[in-house]
A and B are shown apart, each in its own frame.
Chain A
Amino acid sequence: MMTETAPFRPIEAGSQPANDTPLYRSTGLRHPARPPLRIPQTVTETTGPRFRPVQFGPIADLSVVNRKQAVGERIIVRGRVVDEDNRPVPHTMIEIWQANTGGRYDHPGDQHDAPLDPNFHGSGRVFSDADGWYQFVTIKPGAYPWHNHHNAWRPNHIHYSLFGTGFGQRVITQMYFPGDPLLALDPIYHAIPDQAARERLISSFDINITSPDRALGYRFDFVLRGRHATPTEQG
């Protein structure tokens, strides 16, 4: 019987980026030089916060502000949150943030010379349903320059933050779009050693999510770390 306090299984080799990734310049002085200390998973690591929509209100449509439509290509993103055993993760919170259609964040630190859109803020929050499904509506984000190297542009992407059921499942990631030529040049995307793991961050166009006369649909699933079968197993 799987319990929600059983320890998490080890991280699959090659599936996670190394913090020491010289091609991504900002890692230089920020990555720890020493290897991490492997610690046993106690209740601190195996459990985690719960967020309820009544205290953390959902924002499932980023494409409208004050009932006014944002500029850009409206899209629907839909998918499932599951764990490594393909068990749905129900009622879990997903935080969302992104640039507008011009590749500009509604953020004081973003100095990119692309227009802000008064009808687009670019942050949202949704919860998976009882079967792990989530969905939201937004504007397809634009690419933007980021000065990591000469002529550096981030591929179109949406940022996500998920909590899952335990501290050890916490993940912040980015979703990309199929066919983006900038992916081949992006050191953040390529920091993930395993190609298959990298490619799982690319959403897929889905005609069944696409809404007639309204918006294209993209499918993107999240997989959170699986747990050992018994509470005492450590690995």
Chain B
Amino acid sequence: MLVATSHQTIGPYWHLIEDPAWSNLLRFGAEGDRIVLTGTVTDGGGELVTDAAIEIWQTSPAASDGFPAFGRCQTDATGSFRFTTLKPGPVAGLGNAQQAPHVAISIFARGLLTSLTTRLYFQDEPLNESDPVLSLIEDPARRATLIARKVSDDAWHLDIRLQGENETVFMEI
């Protein structure tokens, strides 16, 4: 059996592969429940992380030629990212379980030797209460690090903290 290739940091110069269009998941013409997802990334000293790559992947709505279901956005000089996408619905879980609407997130940056994985959930979704992943987190304050705040009818915001107080729950899969 072979062993998977080791990760190395994305480094500070990954913008050579950056295409700002990738943050708009509707660029191939997808139509539906358009939403905006914004957020910030801060480090253990409370400083903004201004050179990260944030990637999102969602299984609802399903990927198609018109909807990549995947996006990438840099964090800018204010540590912020912004995606335009479609609002996910509930997603099948293991067995009979149902997952609350969510978006998977990967974070790459200088100073991260492997990617960090987390999830974005949506404030006020009734299914959050029974979501099989959120339910693994006992401390409500920790669970709250995954729940994006509703800032308008079609926009949600999530602050990601890499280390320290209110550190985001990162996941191993």
Contact = CB atoms under 8 A, between A and B. Distances in A.
Interface of A: 8, 11-12, 15-19, 21, 24, 26-34, 36-45, 47-52, 55, 82-86, 95-97, 99, 105-107, 109-110, 121-123, 125, 159, 161, 167-168, 170-174, 188-189, 191-192, 196-198, 200-201, 222-226, 232, 234
A115 to B, nearest CB: 16
29 contacts: A17-B8, A29-B45, A30-B44, A30-B111, A32-B170, A34-B169, A39-B133, A39-B136, A42-B91, A43-B91, A44-B104, A47-B59, A49-B70, A51-B68, A82-B2, A85-B2, A99-B13, A107-B15, A109-B13, A110-B12, A167-B104, A168-B173, A171-B7, A172-B8, A174-B8, A196-B3, A197-B3, A201-B8, A226-B1
Contact of A43 (B5, B10, B59, B172): B59
Contacts of A8: 173
A111 to B, nearest CB: 11
B89 interface: no
B9 interface: yes
Contacts of A47: 59
Given A16-B6, A168-B173, A172-B108, A42 B99 contact: yes
A171 B9 CA distance: 10
Interface in B83-106: 91-94, 99, 102, 104, 106
Interface stretch (B32-40, B122-130, B151-159, B160-168): B160-168
Nearest to B42: A29
Given A24-B111, A30-B162, A44-B99, A36 B3 contact: no
B113 A188 contact: yes
Contacts of A42: 91-94, 99, 132-133
Contacts of A52: 65
**Contact-size category for B:** 35 or more
Given A40-B94, A43-B92, A44-B58, 13 more contacts: A16-B7, A28-B44, A29-B45, A39-B173, A43-B59, A55-B28, A106-B16, A107-B15, A109-B12, A159-B8, A161-B17, A197-B3, A200-B5
B69 interface: yes
B63 interface: yes
Contacts of B70: 48-49
Nearest to A86: B2
A195 to B, nearest CB: 11
Contacts, number: 216
Contact of B2 (A84, A96, A174): A84
Give the dominant DSSP class at B's interface.
loop
Contacts of A159: 8, 10-11, 13-14
Contacts of A174: 8-9
Contacts of A29: 43-45, 47, 111, 162-163
Contacts of A86: 2
A26 B44 CA distance: 11
A105 B133 CA distance: 41
Contacts of B147: none
B111 A48 contact: no
A174 B132 CA distance: 35
Contact of A32 (B94, B116, B119): B116
A37 B4 contact: no
B141 interface: no
Contact of B17 (A123, A171, A222): A123
B30 interface: no
A33 B169 CA distance: 10
A77 B6 CA distance: 19
